[in-house]
Amino acid sequence: MIPRYSRPEMTAIWSPETRFRIWFEIEAHATTALAEIGVVPKEAAETVWEKGRDAVFDVARIDEIERVTKHDVIAFLTHLAEIVGPEARFVHQGMTSSDVLDTCLNVQLVRAADLLIADIDGLLGALKRRAFEHKLTPTIGRSHGIHAEPVTFGLKLAQAFAEFTRARARLVAAREEVATCAISGAVGTFANIDPRVEEYVAEKMGLTPEPVSTQVIPRDRHAMFFAVLGVVASSIERLAIEVRHLQRTEVLEAEEYFSEGQKGSSAMPHKRNPVLTENLTGLARMVRSYALPAMENVALWHERDISHSSVERMIGPDATITLDFALARLTGVIDKLLVYPEQMQRNLDRLGGLVHSQRVLLALTQAGVSREDAYRLVQRNAMPVWRGEGDFLTLLQADREVTAALKPEAIAECFDLGYHLKHVDTIFRRVFGASE
């Protein structure tokens, strides 16, 4: 966790304070459930809540105990006993550490997912606003980095909106994957604890009971969770790279917002670099990389081993904090993106009309020229334009083999920008819904 790539709300989920608070809630709810089914005295449960509800768990003290016991949950329980008093012996009855640890981790991941979903909602809002703002701002569409045919800048953002709508759905599914609770004992058999305790705690913590746990909650759930984060990060990378391309000196169709005090380069004061989106590209690499150890965590030995734990201590915070930061940063970039429609038009005009070549090709075919011949005719007129030797329309109108099939006016009609934008409405309706 790097402070500069962290935001406080997500970071707080992973603080020791939050963790011990969740542990307390799990233990206290379990004690209540145990009391309800008569295993421990009701007063014990009440005392636990009374003394613990507003207690501040002393992280340093717990660490101190752990240094002796080398066991974090026992250290916590020992400290809890210091707070609660003798009734503490009724806490954790029949439970195993993983009941607390795994349920806690899932509570944290669910809360993290909630923040990430809210982040995406923010990003979707920015994307939608800018997409409608530039719904009909023409710009060149590029494949292979080469000018292809006109699109609009709004379409580019509509694509991103659609992609992050999918990202949102994936995060919702990922949240569901990890929203389970296990209070099932040392090997998941409920030998020493009634399954009703698990049901009770699950409900109180906003989770569902894990159908079958084996001391631990199965890690395929977490692997899926982190894999989704990696895919979402990859979508961030896509949009970040789009902005980086648009900000290139030679393209300059858009720029990241550049604040007054900001310095682009210690050596070259004129430079305005897309540093936010470059940064996002790197952060995406990191979030993606966490998917792999999460998948390797699945194959625990027998009922469990603890190899997953060190991995999760690292990627639990790192992946969610980084993705949260990246989504927020991307939202800011989109929200404040400087867009230059005139430069978009200038680039559009750059290729002397070549962007209309496919339409000419089609017109020729429809006028009865074979596909092969049409291709040849278009290409022989396109090549000089490409080399900067003339204008595509003029050349075509001067090519007798072309004019034998298409009159000059018919050729000119192929050079109409509006032609390319006639279905923008259709696409926007698909992406944003009919009501927009």
Strand partners, 140: 150
Q: Burial-class residue 387 by CB neighbours within 10 Å (0-12, 13-18, 19+).
A: exposed
Active site residue 265: yes
Q: Which amino acid is residue 150, in one-letter code?
A: P
d(CA 351, CA 388): 8
State which of positions 37-66 bind a copy of itself (CB under 8 A): none
* Minimal distance, residue 56 CB to a copy of itself, in Å: 21
State which of positions 368-397 bind a copy of itself (CB under 8 A): 370-372, 375, 378-379, 382-383, 385-386
Q: How many residues bind a copy of itself (CB under 8 A)?
A: 166
Considering the complex, state which of residue 54 and residue 309 has its C-beta at the smaller distance from a copy of itself. Answer: 309
Site membership for a copy of itself, residue 102 (CB under 8 A) = no
Considering the complex, state which of residue 266 and residue 435 has its C-beta at the smaller distance from a copy of itself. Answer: 266
| Of the candidates 339, 12, 34, the residue with the CA atom closest to the CA atom of residue 194 | 34
- Strands 208-209 and 180-181 come out as parallel
Active site residue 435: no
Q: How many residues does the chain have?
A: 436
Considering the complex, state which of residue 54 and residue 214 has its C-beta at the smaller distance from a copy of itself. Answer: 214
Considering the complex, state which of residue 410 and residue 421 has its C-beta at the smaller distance from a copy of itself. Answer: 421
Considering the complex, state which of residue 110 and residue 385 has its C-beta at the smaller distance from a copy of itself. Answer: 385
Q: Extract the tokens encoding 282.
A: 């790197």
* Minimal distance, residue 296 CB to a copy of itself, in Å: 5
| Of the candidates 330, 333, 334, 311, the residue with the CA atom closest to the CA atom of residue 322 | 330
The full 3-state SS of 382-394, as one line of letters, equals HHHHHCCCCCHHH
State which of positions 225-264 bind a copy of itself (CB under 8 A): 227-228, 230-231, 233-235, 237-238, 240-242, 244-245, 247-251, 259, 261-263
Give the phi and the psi of residue 279 in degrees, each rounded to 5.
-60, -40
Q: Applying CB under 8 A, which part among 2-10, 106-114, 394-402, 403-411 lies near a copy of itself?
A: 2-10
Site membership for a copy of itself, residue 85 (CB under 8 A) = no
